[in-house]
């Protein structure tokens, strides 16, 4: 809906695959000591010496994970990196390198791919990760981005999903539900625009939640904060599929139960007001929304004093014995069993 | 053309993403010491201790890189892994782990994805690599596979593309041109089948070249052989885009020239006879065909005695001063400048 009709169009086929990669990556700088050799050989060469290597990968598909009608390509490039870095931070590690592979149909001119890479580069610069490889190919339809992120962590620092114990506190960073609601706002504007192409979207009052959807940030700062506070989580995961689904992962993998308190879930005022406008329940959005890329982790009770004054961290529950189950304790003090209703890309209506 | 009409069809959406990954990966075994944690957390955790880490990635797109009309899904899974392992071996390294991400449309039932993973598993078992992660999502159309391979190598052993010196010998493993010709045979059979669906393809006389296309092997054995022979290449690359393109990479990155001798290029008798049948020049096929996944490397002259008797290795030329250029020396002893005519997925007629 923000398409520039005068955009320049250079055909990618003129450059060829090697020319394209060279062109797109020429302004990327190497920032990590562990990168011995980045792009330009059969494989990248990395040197993690005594640290452990973290590897994670995510695939974003046009029409499934994003809609270019409202997702600017630069934001998409940025988000594709964030989604992966978030997984590295969720291991309590430092993200160090990424590979980016894209498949794109010939409806995309060079300028579009440059926009995408501008977003990838901004992410690399901001988060100090090196682009070390990738593959660029044509597709018969649409755009697809596959990112693999690497990171490093010492054996002492690594945090898995399975270390939570009964009585550990359940903590979440930032606030949640915004990304999903932002998507609902963008979808509504798309419908309005389809009905009336002259309409001008006014997204001012939704700026925070729209940004949560279009330009999420991976919580590198929280990993640093926890180190500074000398708190090592007993288990951790990032919130990509919704709070409910992630709590189930931590609890089942740790073989513990959990009580999540509805009134403790951190919600931005814009999330609350937009939920009222859309007439949907804010708790449902927080539990099932996904794409917040906040960190969800458990800490020992004794670490509570270290985090309690921190505005970026909220205790939302505690772990229990496995036999007590995984529950939401409502505002009315009722216990309801939590079920995963995270997003399933294979389920369509 | 080999479709089983009685195949079972189970819908993937019933399993969901987590269920699908669990189902597909349950028979995969961990074989590498360096794999601390494979699938099941936010990121895999690897431990390469004093070795360097190699990372490479490739994307295979239906309709661009493969045609399911003649590529069985099990072979496709196997090949997608080979393409990546080949890049690790081309660094003189040992492949240790892979991640596999797939996007697939709802025309694929669970049984099809199981076939694909059976091929991936066969590759993992045969080459002793661990599947440590991935992503599985729906696509609006077709099948796409993104594989990232990791490997390890000591700092002393790693071989880059840029180490060739004038007078080094240019060596290739196995024989080349077969994979491309196999593809031509399969394309022809597809046309025949389209015209007459009752026709039965007889591929007996093309068995070697069809197998080169459908089930290539990465040359792990050559890396071991070179170690046993105590030969460390001065530069190395794998042949994915055609001999010509790869020679240009080695020469330009090493800043040397090269003389490639037409009469030395190793061709299988089936490649020669099929070229005659198709009335195409075998040298052209060898130079530009691609997908052979053989290794192309340079060695010091003094290492020649160590490799000369070996049936798996052929000296096909030598490096020269950069000023002499990169040339094919024909059977008629003419020098022709080599130009890259490797495959470009963005160029379509």
Q: Each residue of B33-71: pLDDT tens digit? A: 999 999 989 999 999 888 999 999 999 999 999 999 889
Q: What pLDDT was estimated at residue B3?
A: 47
Mean pLDDT of chain A: 91
Q: What pLDDT was estimated at residue B150?
A: 96
Q: What does the buried/exposed string (b/e) look like for A48-75 if buried means 16 or more CB atoms within 10 Å of the residue's CB?
A: beebbbbbbbbbbbbebbbeeebbebbb
The beta-carbon neighbor of B46 closest among A55, A137, A345 is A55
The alpha-carbon gap from B192 to the nearest alpha carbon of chain A, in Å, equals: 24
User: Where does A12-153 sit in CATH, by number?
Assistant: 3.30.1330.10
In chain B, residues 271-290 whose CB comes closer than 8 Å to chain A: none
CA distances from B79 to B104, B122, B190, B287 (A): 17, 10, 20, 21
Q: What pLDDT was estimated at residue B245?
A: 94
B135 carries a ligand binding annotation: yes
Q: What pLDDT was estimated at residue B20?
A: 84
| Chain A residues within 8 A of B144 when measuring between CB atoms | 103, 139, 144
Looking from the CA of A346 toward its CB, the CA atoms found within 13 Å total 23
| Rg of chain B, C-alpha, whole Å | 21
B251 vs B161: CA distance, rounded Å: 8
Q: Is 60 exceeded by the pLDDT of residue B114?
A: yes
In chain B, residues 37-56 whose CB comes closer than 8 Å to chain A: 37, 40-50, 52-56
- Cβ-defined contact of A55 to B253 (cutoff 8 Å): no
Is-contact B31 B132, C-beta < 8 A? Answer: no
Q: Is 60 exceeded by the pLDDT of residue B106?
A: yes
Task: Name the token pair of B56.
Answer: 């490479």
B56 carries a ligand binding annotation: yes
**A11-58 pLDDT tens trace:** 777 777 778 888 888 889 899 999 999 998 999 999 998 899 999 999
Q: What pLDDT was estimated at residue B1?
A: 41
- Can you say whether the dihedral through the CA atoms of B253, B254, B257, B258 is positive or negative? negative
Q: Which residues contact A45 (CB under 8 A, 6 or more apart)?
A: A36, A37, B52, B53, B54, B91, B153, B158
Q: What pLDDT was estimated at residue A193?
A: 85
Q: What pLDDT was estimated at residue B348?
A: 43
A50 carries a ligand binding annotation: no
Confidence of residue B16 (pLDDT cuts 50, 70, 90): confident
Q: What pLDDT was estimated at residue B341?
A: 60
B117 carries a ligand binding annotation: yes
A260: region left, alpha or beta (phi > 0 left; psi from -120 to 50 alpha): beta
Q: What pLDDT was estimated at residue B288?
A: 92
Q: Which range has the worst mean pLDDT, B13-27, B45-59, B94-108, B139-153?
A: B13-27
Is-contact B307 B231, C-beta < 8 A? Answer: yes
**B183-241 pLDDT tens trace:** 999 999 988 888 888 887 788 899 999 999 999 999 999 999 999 999 999 999 999 99
Is-contact B318 B257, C-beta < 8 A? Answer: no
Is-contact B244 B340, C-beta < 8 A? Answer: yes
Enumerate the CATH 3.90.650.10 domain ranges in chain B, comma separated: 169-337
Confidence of residue B349 (pLDDT cuts 50, 70, 90): very low
Q: Is 90 exceeded by the pLDDT of residue A346?
A: no
User: Where does B15-153 sit in CATH, by number?
Assistant: 3.30.1330.10
Q: Which range has the worst mean pLDDT, A226-240, A314-328, B7-21?
A: B7-21
Q: What pLDDT was estimated at residue B8?
A: 64
| Chain B residues within 8 A of A137 when measuring between CB atoms | 59, 61, 64-65, 345-346
Q: Which of A19, A43, A136 to mutate to test the interface with B (most CBs of B within 10 A)?
A: A43
What is the bridge-based pairing of β-strands A335-337 and A35-37?
A: unpaired
Q: Which of B36, B42, B92 to mutate to test the interface with A (most CBs of A within 10 A)?
A: B42
Is-contact B123 B77, C-beta < 8 A? Answer: yes
Angle between helices A110-127 and A16-25 (to 10 degrees): 40
B87 carries a ligand binding annotation: yes
- Cβ-defined contact of B346 to A57 (cutoff 8 Å): no
Count CB atoms within 10 A of the CB of residue B218.
27
The beta-carbon neighbor of A148 closest among B148, B151, B162 is B148
Task: Name the token pair of A218.
Answer: 């991976």
Q: Is 90 exceeded by the pLDDT of residue A106?
A: no
Cβ pairs bridging A and B (under 8 Å): 228
- Cβ-defined contact of B90 to A36 (cutoff 8 Å): no
Q: Is 50 exceeded by the pLDDT of residue B247?
A: yes
CA distances from B160 to A37, B166, B218, B250, B321 (A): 9, 16, 18, 9, 19
Q: Is 60 exceeded by the pLDDT of residue A250?
A: yes
Q: What pLDDT was estimated at residue A4?
A: 47
The alpha-carbon gap from B279 to the nearest alpha carbon of chain A, in Å, equals: 28
Is-contact A23 A118, C-beta < 8 A? Answer: no
- Cβ-defined contact of B138 to A236 (cutoff 8 Å): no
B42 carries a ligand binding annotation: yes
Query: Which is higher by pLDDT, A346 or A273?
Result: A273
The alpha-carbon gap from B160 to the nearest alpha carbon of chain A, in Å, equals: 7
Superfamily of domain A169-337 in the CATH hierarchy: PurM-like C-terminal domain (3.90.650.10)
In chain A, residues 186-245 whose CB comes closer than 8 Å to chain B: 236-238
| Chain A residues within 8 A of B239 when measuring between CB atoms | none
Q: Is 70 exceeded by the pLDDT of residue A256?
A: yes
Is-contact A293 A249, C-beta < 8 A? Answer: no
Secondary structure, 3-state, chain A: CCCCCCCCCCCHHHCHHHHHHHHHHCCCCCCCCCEEECCCCCCEEECCCCCEEEEEEEEEEECCCECCCCCCHHHHHHHHHHHHHHHHHCCCCEEEEEEEEEEECCCCCHHHHHHHHHHHHHHHHHHCCEEEEEEEEECCCCEEEEEEEEEEECCCCCCCCCCCCCCCEEEEECCCCHHHHHHHHHHHHHHHHHHCCCCCCCCHHHHHHHHHHHCCCCCHHHHHHHHHCCCCCCEEEECCCCHHHHHHHHHHHHCCEEEEEHHHCCCCHHHHHHHHHHCCCHHHHHHHCCCCCCEEEEECHHHHHHHCCCCCEEEEEEEECHHHCEEEECCCCCEEECCCCCCCCCCCC
Mean pLDDT of the region B289-302: 96
Q: Which range has the worst mean pLDDT, A162-166, A239-243, A338-342, B59-63?
A: A338-342
Q: Is 70 exceeded by the pLDDT of residue A77?
A: yes
Query: Which is higher by pLDDT, B12 or B67?
Result: B67
What is the CA A14 to chain-centroid distance, rounded? 34
A134 carries a ligand binding annotation: yes
The alpha-carbon gap from A211 to the nearest alpha carbon of chain B, in Å, equals: 24
Mean pLDDT of the region B105-112: 89
Mean pLDDT of chain B: 91
Q: Is 60 exceeded by the pLDDT of residue A5?
A: no
What is the bridge-based pairing of β-strands A130-138 and A94-104?
A: parallel
Q: Which of A41, A149, A160, A340 to mutate to test the interface with B (most CBs of B within 10 A)?
A: A41
Is-contact B261 B318, C-beta < 8 A? Answer: no
Residues pairing with A44 in the sheet: B55
Q: Is 90 exceeded by the pLDDT of residue B317?
A: yes
Q: What pLDDT was estimated at residue B301?
A: 98
Count CB atoms within 10 A of the CB of residue B329.
16
């Amino acid at each position: 809906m923000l398409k520039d009709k005068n955009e320049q169009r250079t055909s990618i086929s003129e450059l060829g695959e090697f020319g394209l990669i060279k062109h797109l990556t020429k302004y990327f700088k190497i920032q990590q000591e562990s990168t011995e050799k980045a792009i330009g050989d059969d494989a990248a060469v990395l040197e993690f010496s005594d640290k452990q290597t973290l590897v994670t990968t995510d695939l974003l598909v046009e029409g499934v994970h994003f809609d270019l009608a409202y997702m600017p390509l630069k934001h998409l490039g940025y988000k594709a990196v964030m989604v992966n870095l978030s997984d590295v931070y969720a291991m309590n590690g430092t993200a160090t390198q990424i590979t980016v592979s894209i498949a794109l149909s010939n409806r995309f001119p060079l300028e579009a791919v440059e926009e995408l890479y501008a977003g990838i580069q901004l992410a690399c610069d901001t988060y100090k990760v090196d682009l070390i490889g990738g593959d660029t190919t044509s597709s018969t339809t649409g755009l697809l981005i596959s990112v693999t992120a690497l990171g490093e962590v010492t054996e002492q620092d690594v945090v898995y999903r399975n270390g939570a114990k009964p009585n550990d506190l359940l903590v979440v960073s930032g606030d949640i539900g915004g990304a999903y609601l932002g998507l609902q706002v963008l979808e509504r504007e798309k419908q309005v625009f389809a009905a009336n192409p002259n309409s001008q979207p006014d997204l001012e009052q939704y700026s925070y939640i729209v940004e949560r959807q279009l330009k999420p940030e991976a919580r590198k700062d929280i990993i640093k904060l926890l180190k500074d506070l000398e708190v090592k989580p007993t288990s951790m995961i990032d919130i990509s599929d919704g709070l409910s689904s992630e709590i189930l992962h931590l609890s089942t993998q740790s073989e513990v139960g959990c009580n999540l308190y509805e009134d403790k879930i951190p919600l931005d005022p814009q999330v609350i007001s937009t939920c009222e406008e859309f007439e949907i329940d804010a708790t449902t959005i927080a539990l099932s929304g996904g794409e917040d890329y906040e960190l969800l982790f458990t800490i020992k009770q004794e670490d509570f004093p270290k985090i309690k004054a921190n505005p970026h961290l909220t205790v939302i529950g505690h772990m229990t014995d496995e036999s007590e189950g995984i529950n939401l304790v409502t505002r009315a003090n009722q216990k309801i069993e939590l079920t995963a209703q995270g997003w399933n890309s294979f389920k369509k209506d």
